[in-house]
Structure 1
Amino acid sequence: MRLEDPWDDAPATGRWDTAGGRAAVPPAVPDEQDAALRAADIYLQVQRSSAFQEVRRRYRRFVVPATLAFLLWYLAYVVAATTAPGLMARPVAGAVNVAMVAGLAQFLTTFVLTWAYARHARLRRDRAALELRWDTQEMTRGAER
């Protein structure tokens, strides 16, 4: 399954237009305009680079399945709670029933998913994103000169 990034072809020029209902930015001094255009070109170049696309791909490969799994798990809980009240009311231990265990499992799932996301970001994306950031800053500094 391949998901297209909706921002992939969006121009990163930073320009505002009045057609989209946004206020127009007043024109800058020509030197500032040239610097802004050079910076915009740099960011477009970075956005189209294979390194940036790889960081985005790694992000999507984790987030999309994790989000779908969590939403399905939550939906299953809600459906079970509304359609199978007898099952959810079944005692597990003392006054604790299946609904309580499933509800607490929702919280546990949230914490586990947060930990997994942070770990994935640290191991799979942070270093590449930091390198892109440094490269972009170096390119921007070089364009200012």
Structure 2
Amino acid sequence: MPASAERYLEVQNSDEFTRLRHRLRSFIFPTTVAFIVWYSLYVLLSAYARDFMSIKLIGNINVALIFGLLQFVSTFVIAWYYSRYAAQKLDPLADDLYKELENGEKVAGTTADGSAH
């Protein structure tokens, strides 16, 4: 039997849902800011520090190429780290909330530090 709108609102107003949103935001906001700063540094250096970015390191490989490749590396690192973070900190809480919605009863969840109780 599908959960009612009232049940969704109950879960949305619960401490568990608030904890889930806090954990998600505590990862997403700082990571997004860090990535935007890192990307902006790359763009600004490319536009205004051409002499620095054109320094050759090995053969025809220059600083700009290394910074450009590091943009890809940082994107994959962030994706990997988020996947790991979500599996450890977000998914258990989300699973408990889902079970609570489906069953219509309170399910033993996780504590504030992420451990099961």
Query: Where in structure 2 are the equivalents of 1:60-79 lying within 5 Å?
Result: 60-79=25-44
Report the structure number with the largest CA radius of gyration: 1
Residue deviations 1:5-28 (CA, integer Å, cap 9, x gap): xxxxxxxxxxxxxxxxxxxxxxxx
CA shift, 1:139, in A, is 1.3
Q: Residue in 1 aligned with 2:6?
A: 41
Residue 86 of structure 1 pairs with residue 51 of structure 2: yes
TM-score using structure 1 length: 0.70
| CA distance in 2 between partners of 1:114 and 1:45 (Å) | 32
Structure 1, unaligned stretches of length 5 or more? 1-34, 141-145
Select 2:72's aligned residue among 96, 107, 123: 107
Higher relative contact order (CA 8 A, sep 6+): 2
TM-score using structure 2 length: 0.86
> How many pairs align?
105
| Deviation >3 Å, runs of 4+ | none
Query: Where in structure 2 are the equivalents of 1:1-145 lying within 5 Å?
Result: 39-139=4-104
CA RMSD, Structure 1 to Structure 2 (Å): 1.6
